[in-house]
Amino acid sequence: MPDAANDGDRRQHSRNVKVMRVARLKDVKLHAECLGLVRDVSPGGMMIDADFPLEIGQTVAIALLDDQELKGDVIWLDGKTVGVEFAQPIEVEKILAKPSIKPDGRRARLPRFKLDKIVTIRADEKAADAQLLDLSQRGAKFSCDLGRVLIKRIPNGVIL
């Protein structure tokens, strides 16, 4: 069986430098989300490691930043590694650039996952019930009796 991930004869665009960037993958039809690891990117597509049941021909949305969503179709599978082809070529440098300032003055954020889970937050001897609203690589947002709470780094002793 040929190794689909390394079959260079099918490429329309040259590969960019290999990257290791976490992205949010979304099944466009089912609105299901998971994390994926972008392994390489070119103007025509991406190779992504995804712990997500994807099928050839399936359309996925990929976000490296919350305000930067790309859509493409899965064109090959090799275990948990998938090849996604974009409908139109992208500007790779723009996609891989560090988070920038948006027109409204806010900084672009890493992908966030919307949640609606009741959790218990514990710090030192205290505990409080809270609603987990969203989660990212850099923190989480909770709603509790004290109002909305943003924890950028979960300190030692905090258990979710």
H helices within 15-154, ranges in order? 92-96
Cβ proximity of 145 and 134 under 8 Å: no
* Claim: this prediction has a pTM higher than 0.85: no
pLDDT band at residue 1 under the 50/70/90 scheme: very low
Average of per-residue pLDDT across 133-151: 71
CA 67 – CA 109 distance, rounded (Å): 8
CA 147 – CA 150 distance, rounded (Å): 10
* pLDDT value, residue 16: 57
pLDDT band at residue 124 under the 50/70/90 scheme: confident
CA 76 – CA 46 distance, rounded (Å): 11
Cβ proximity of 67 and 49 under 8 Å: no
Cβ proximity of 111 and 87 under 8 Å: no
DSSP letter, residue 107: B
13 versus 139: the higher-pLDDT residue is 139
79 versus 139: the higher-pLDDT residue is 79
